[in-house]
Amino acid sequence: MKYIAIITGFLIIGCGATDNQQAPKLETAMDSVSYSIGVDIGKTMKTQELDINDKAMFAGWSAAFNGEDLKLTEEDMLATLNNFRKVMQEKSQLKAQQQSEENLSAGEAFLAENAKKEGIVTLESGLQYKVIEEGSGETPTEKSKVTVHYRGTLLNGEEFDSSFKRGQPYTTPVTNVIKGWTEALQLMPVGSKWELFIPSNLAYGNSPRSPGGPNSALVFELELLSIE
């Protein structure tokens, strides 16, 4: 079983938690490597909410490392770990589904209230926008390449990306972005700055990689600088 990196990290965690031993000194480069692996594994375990028995974990590592008799056969351990992976996968899928449903509901409620505000335009697709500055230049088509500045936030105002902050505009074909952008860009004259309120189906949909998680509605400040 190929768990060398994980077990190395577990050693650090196990040592720190067994018999209240003092944490080892980091005197060599390998000491620092070992400690860093332990921290990384610890963070991963915490994020995944793994309820690990650190003493049993360290006992298993010690027995294997020192060539002692194991309390479980290889077959038993393989079956145990395979079952554990299955349980964790099901737990992860359930959590993602719950988050997806919560995000979808929150997005729908937000957009419904937002539509009542002054200056908000709601399109048939569900995309909402508010004109901050109205430009007077040309309007892109779906075949255009545009240069824009943007700032993306979650519904709670948390920023997840910003070309403004990087100080570098973003150039892209109109159709190589999320659907909400594609639709809005074809309505914006060059020089315009709009605030977009994008439902999840026009953003990243149910993708777990979506900012804010699956089915998140997103808010963008989008400024159209030029058309190429």
- In the numeric block, which tokens belong to residue 111? 């957009």
DSSP state of 72: S
Q: How many helices (H) and strands (E) are present in the chain, helices listed first?
A: 6, 7
Give this prediction's pTM: 0.69
**pLDDT at 22 (0 to 100):** 62
By annotation, the residues acting in catalysis are 150, 160-161, 178, 204, 220
Q: Is the dihedral of CA 62, 56, 78, 5 positive or negative?
A: negative
State pLDDT tens for residues 1-40.
Answer: 444 444 444 444 444 444 445 667 888 999 898 889 878 8
Calpha distance 144→182 (Å, rounded): 10
Domains and CATH numbers, the chain: 4-71 (no CATH), 108-227 (3.10.50.40)
203, 175 Cβ separation under 8 angstroms: no
**CA 173 from centroid of its chain's CA atoms:** 25
pLDDT string in tens for the chain (228-residue length): 444 444 444 444 444 444 445 667 888 999 898 889 878 877 877 777 777 787 888 788 788 889 998 999 999 999 999 998 998 889 888 988 999 999 999 999 999 999 999 999 999 999 999 999 999 999 999 999 999 999 999 999 999 999 999 999 999 999 999 999 999 999 999 999 999 999 999 999 999 889 999 999 999 999 999 999
Residue 151 region, left (φ>0) first, then alpha (ψ -120 to 50), else beta? beta
